[in-house]
Amino acid sequence: MELHTDFSQRVILHTEQMPWSPSPAAGVERRQLDRQGEEVARATSIVRYASGSYFAAHTHGGGEEIFVLEGVFSDEHGHYPPGSYLRNPPGTTHTPFSEPGCVIFVKLWQFNPGDAQTVCQQTEQGSWSPGRQEGIQVQLLHEFQGVRTVLMRLEPDLQVQLHSHQGGEEILVLEGDFADEHGEYSKGSWLRSPPGSSHSPKIGPNGALLYLKSGHLVAPVLPLPN
């Protein structure tokens, strides 16, 4: 399957308007945002677990990155409430499930070679640092060889300075809304901006909280199996 695999193209999806499609596990559905491959794939998805649903034990050959959006996501290593950020590096195994049900943002097979860091961060308890201009705060989630993942909190009605993304940028709107030269984005919107692109966002009257990843569209990743 090939879905939005051309990283030179801008992609804008309003995920809360997208239908759910079934996964191989009963009670687990997904909204596929980009994908290269079949069930073993380099993929970005929003995944919904019904109450009591689970996936069988499996190994992530290319690593897995998770941000919990709603409910409680669990595996044999712990229980993860909304705002949890997880990185399961290549070669790790788990049996994921959700007792109350949950919605998670998932990226598969997108680890840089050599990145073997396990991360379990409760962002509700995380620390914030000043961003690129006044009115922006940033919480670092992970950084490795030019690839950076953060939460970004922006004040209401802020005009963000024009800036470029030399290594590309990906945004999931967690709260609030914003607009730029290319469109308007509310909660649940997912944007992937190509390397070399630029924009000047204007934040809405309620502010915004963004999951933002940059640099990864030009970075090397582990190859998919043949």
With helix as H, strand as E and coil as C, how does 93-126 read? EECCEECCCEEEEEEECCCCCCCCCCEEEEHHHC
Burial of 73 (0-12, 13-18, 19+ CB in 10 A): buried
CATH superfamily, with its number, for domain 18-122: Jelly Rolls (2.60.120.10)
Residue in 3, 4, 2 with CA at minimum distance from that of residue 192: 4
pLDDT truncated to tens, each residue of the chain (226 aa)? 999 999 999 999 999 999 999 999 999 999 999 999 988 899 999 999 999 999 999 999 999 999 999 999 999 999 999 999 999 999 999 999 999 999 999 999 999 999 999 999 999 999 999 999 999 999 999 999 999 999 999 999 999 999 999 999 999 999 999 999 999 999 999 999 999 999 999 999 999 999 999 999 999 999 998 7
Please state the domain extents for the chain.
18-122, 123-214
Structure token pair of residue 79: 């229980």
Q: Read off the pTM.
A: 0.97
Same fold, 18-122 and 123-214: yes
CATH superfamily, with its number, for domain 123-214: Jelly Rolls (2.60.120.10)
Taking a C-beta distance cutoff of 8 angstroms, is the pair 87, 119 a contact? yes
Start-end of H helices in the chain? none
